Structure 1
Amino acid sequence: MGFGERGWGDFEGVEGKSVIKEIWHDNKLTDWRIVPLKRFGLLKGGAGFPIAAQGLSGLEFPFYKVKDLQENDFFLSKTEHYISHETALKLGAFIFPKNTLVFAKVGEAVKLNRYKLLSMSSCIDNNMMGYVIDHNVLSSKYLYYLVNQTFDISYIANPGPVPSVGSRQMGYLEISVPTVKKQRKIAAYLDKTCATIDKVIEAKQKQLEILDDLRKSIIHKAVTRGLDDSVELKDSGVEWIGKMPQHWVIEKLKRLLSQPLMYGTNEAAELDDPEYPRYIRITDFGDSGTLKPEAFKSLPPDKAIGYYLEEGDLLFARSGATVGKTFLFSGYKGLACFAGYLIRARTNKIKLVPKYLYYFSKSHAYFAWKNVIFTQATIQNISATKYDYLPVTVPSVREQQLIVQYLDIKMKALDNMQSNLSEQISTLKQYRKSLIHECVTGKRRITENNARNKS
């Protein structure tokens, strides 16, 4: 019997080794089978894709590369590359049909376990593999849910500096399947249920974005207008700051420091000895203003000398994707030093409260200044010389302290709201994952009513 002509009865004798098989046996799920992938379809690698053929549009077939697997959808639908039927023939590129499951077969991307379905007939490059499905016995949507939930092909990858998997290895991987009719019921149920969950998640993520915008607006108003709405205003002379209280001044950052701005050390981050000073790098902190415990690295004291941080020091990121990001060194128990992609600002505390400067670096005014700097440079980099000339609004120290106290209260309330939303999103994602797992392992029975009620 040829490919595409088999019936369910042809797989009665297939033996499997999955631990889940025993669970099915205990639950008496007699209409489920464990079958190697090669029995339900064709596994085939992609083709070489010369540079001269890349970057074209308006041709018959999309030509997908590994990076296209990053799309957040069932189907691959976007790419920068298209190819004609004639060129596909010249390259010996197989044209994979719609609903083929595709994934990485070479490189570190193998470990990411990303699987997508093709939305139309397409070609893939030679770092990818396609699984052309026999739709008489296997639902593509069911397979998508199954592999994204249960597959980890990194453990079968060929060892060496460049991981890889072949069609033979993939062919012997086993999948858990009921009849194709039941597969389709499960996929339809998951399509509708997951879509509902995803909409709720999306709504909560939008709420997080709104709270983030509100955070910046509250900070911006406090550090450019102060806390008294009745105070007389004047033009600050800085476009992105606008008007400010009459008694405030604008100062360049360098005039508000007790020491010149300083670059960190370029020592390699190789140690994680808790007895040594912590070595703070650009990747150690995010927008939350806290250090990531899992990112801990340390430097021997003799290499940290000259780069120690003091309470209230502010670190500016000077390059990379997070250029301009800031971190206030405060309340840390122990010694710490900082790395070369960071710049330390140590304020003159009789002129500038450190946390006021930190809040200023979270305002719309600061982000507008960054954008001006970026438009003047070919690469996104802000040197100490440029930070020296950052214009800062400066009220009296007492007023700075009151602004910091006000913002601490406001930010704590927003932090709590964002934390609750983030926990809800995490719970929904975990529920979605558990739901899929239960459905594709037979632990949750999907009836006609389930599928109909969700349609």
Structure 2
Amino acid sequence: MSDVRLRHLARINPLTPAFDRLADNDELTFVPMEAVWPDSRLDLTRRRTKSAVATGYTRFQDGDVLVPKITPTFEASRSVLIQGLLGGVGAGTTELHVVRPGPDIDPQFLLYTVNTHTFLRLGASEMYGVAGQQRVPDSFLRDLRVRLPSLPEQRCIADFLNAETAHIDRLAAAQRRLAAKLREREALAVEHHLSQASSHQVRLKNVLLAPPSYGANESAEHDRRDWPRYIRTTDIAEDGSLRESTFASLPPEAARKYMMDDGDLLFVRSGATVGKSFVYEARFGPAAHAGYLIRARVDSSLMHSRLIWYFCQTRNYWQQVSEGTLQATIQNVNAEKYGNLLIPMISRDRQVPTLTALDRIVTKSRTLRRDAGRMLDLLAERRQALITAAVTGQFDVSTASGRNVTDGVPTT
């Protein structure tokens, strides 16, 4: 048993000659960050031509291990062993490190090594960059010390973990299906109540005090609680709250033009979460919004902003967002498109009862979804603990799996 630096076992971010041999119009697999998941959620269905990804993208091939380099995806343990690429070649986001295993390390064992708690903890400590945009340097991967059993032992460990994690992944998939069903049922209930209460549809801009506006483009991030909070895309949680773990602030002079009022709506205008929405409330404290968020200041004498936020959870809303998406490198919905959204108009006397009913429905649904989420967290913890224990030799995998390794050869 020995500890070997990873650079002696694998190539880090190597060249991919197979990519260079493709013709410009040849198609290959395209893998954006949202497609990178460690189980059946790995999505290899996207296609691009070589010419479309010739510059500004990471290249890789079948058998490579892809390691996300940016927070929080790195900490979420989303490294994958890539197989089944179209023509054996792929390209994807530059936020991936490519680790190409050599002959002395089993690819599956390497994959589990970069999914251990130890690896993730050490990698997080090596990150550089500003808060919210920190990345793991490739020097961390090159210098990583890997506990290296013999190849037969590596394969025995990998086989054991393949079986055990597959069982955990099936349980996790069932929990995700449950959460998705609850989310779907919630959206249908919200849509039904809104349609029953509304008399007609209007453009969002017709219930606003001013045209939708963009936020501040400030790169500096501070943690001053006596300054206005700087609300960014990453701060907005799915349940309509703000994440305290990502708190940042702006100097008062920089924030002044972009300060939020109670009831203001925020919409994400680009990226993977385009369309996500949020209602600012005064209880969150003084705050300004970032440039990737569009502010819509609702006229409270016409419409309660939380009713509009509830509409933003429905299929009707997401269909409009999808139709309004400008196809570019990054999906984008501009302020004008948001202003032209068709929303249900509800008379003043029906707004409070409708809002009360929706609050009750959604509170119950999200309690159930939180329970499913806690179960997913427990399964993820179990999965990572098992991987860490097996890879680091904390228990005898050959005994646990009912197999023995004799003279370097696994036997039953």
What's the TM-score, normalizing by structure 2?
A: 0.72
Secondary structure, in 3 states, of the residue corresponding to 2:299?
coil
Q: Is the 8 A contact 2:38 2:80 kept in 1?
A: no
C-alpha displacement at 1:306, in angstroms?
4.0
Secondary structure, in 3 states, of the residue corresponding to 1:392?
strand
Q: 2:283 aligns with which of 318, 329, 332?
A: 332
Q: 2:147 aligns with which of 171, 175, 181?
A: 175
* Aligned equivalents of 2:124, 2:327: Cα separation in 1: 43
C-alpha displacement at 1:82, in angstroms?
11
CA shift digits 1:205-235 (9 cap, x unpaired) = 1111111111211111111123xxxxxxxxx
* Aligned equivalents of 1:207, 1:348: Cα separation in 2: 38
Q: Is the 8 A contact 1:176 1:441 kept in 2?
A: no
Tell me the residue number matched to 1:209.
Answer: 180
2:14 is the alignment partner of 1:36: no
C-alpha displacement at 1:42, in angstroms?
7.7
C-alpha displacement at 1:116, in angstroms?
3.0
Secondary structure, in 3 states, of the residue corresponding to 1:332?
helix
* Aligned equivalents of 1:66, 1:390: Cα separation in 2: 28
Tell me the residue number matched to 1:415.
Answer: 366
* Aligned equivalents of 2:398, 2:154: Cα separation in 1: 11
Tell me the residue number matched to 1:261.
Answer: 211
C-alpha displacement at 1:146, in angstroms?
3.4
Q: 2:38 aligns with which of 72, 75, 79?
A: 72
> Aligned-pair RMSD on alpha carbons?
4.6
* Aligned equivalents of 2:6, 2:311: Cα separation in 1: 60
Larger Rg: 1
Tell me the residue number matched to 1:23.
Answer: none
* Aligned equivalents of 2:48, 2:373: Cα separation in 1: 37
* Aligned equivalents of 2:336, 2:10: Cα separation in 1: 60
Tell me the residue number matched to 1:133.
Answer: 103
2:303 is the alignment partner of 1:352: yes
Unaligned 5+ segments in structure 2 are 51-60, 92-96, 130-134, 404-411
Secondary structure, in 3 states, of the residue corresponding to 1:133?
coil
Secondary structure, in 3 states, of the residue corresponding to 1:250?
strand
What's the TM-score, normalizing by structure 1?
A: 0.66
The amino acid that maps onto 2:22 is A
CA shift digits 1:155-180 (9 cap, x unpaired) = 999x999954599x66x944242x65
Tell me the residue number matched to 1:297.
Answer: 248
The amino acid that maps onto 1:266 is A
* Aligned equivalents of 1:434, 1:151: Cα separation in 2: 12
* Aligned equivalents of 1:101, 1:384: Cα separation in 2: 41
* Aligned equivalents of 2:114, 2:207: Cα separation in 1: 57
Tell me the residue number matched to 1:240.
Answer: none
C-alpha displacement at 1:199, in angstroms?
0.5
* Structure showing greater relative contact order (alpha-carbon pairs closer than 8 Å, 6 or more residues apart): 2
C-alpha displacement at 1:115, in angstroms?
6.3
- Indicate how the Cα distance of structure 1 residues 65 and 34 shifts in structure 2: closer, same or farther if over 3 A, else same: farther
- Indicate how the Cα distance of structure 1 residues 156 and 102 shifts in structure 2: closer, same or farther if over 3 A, else same: farther
Tell me the residue number matched to 2:81.
Answer: 116
Q: Is the 8 A contact 1:269 1:298 kept in 2?
A: no
C-alpha displacement at 1:204, in angstroms?
0.7
- Indicate how the Cα distance of structure 1 residues 57 and 400 shifts in structure 2: closer, same or farther if over 3 A, else same: same
- Indicate how the Cα distance of structure 1 residues 296 and 441 shifts in structure 2: closer, same or farther if over 3 A, else same: closer
Secondary structure, in 3 states, of the residue corresponding to 1:362?
coil
Q: Is the 8 A contact 2:216 2:258 kept in 1?
A: no
C-alpha displacement at 1:373, in angstroms?
2.8
C-alpha displacement at 1:447, in angstroms?
4.7
Tell me the residue number matched to 2:407.
Answer: none
Count of paired positions: 371
Secondary structure, in 3 states, of the residue corresponding to 1:53?
coil
Tell me the residue number matched to 1:218.
Answer: 189
- Indicate how the Cα distance of structure 1 residues 273 and 413 shifts in structure 2: closer, same or farther if over 3 A, else same: same
CA shift digits 1:279-305 (9 cap, x unpaired) = 223332133211122332222323333
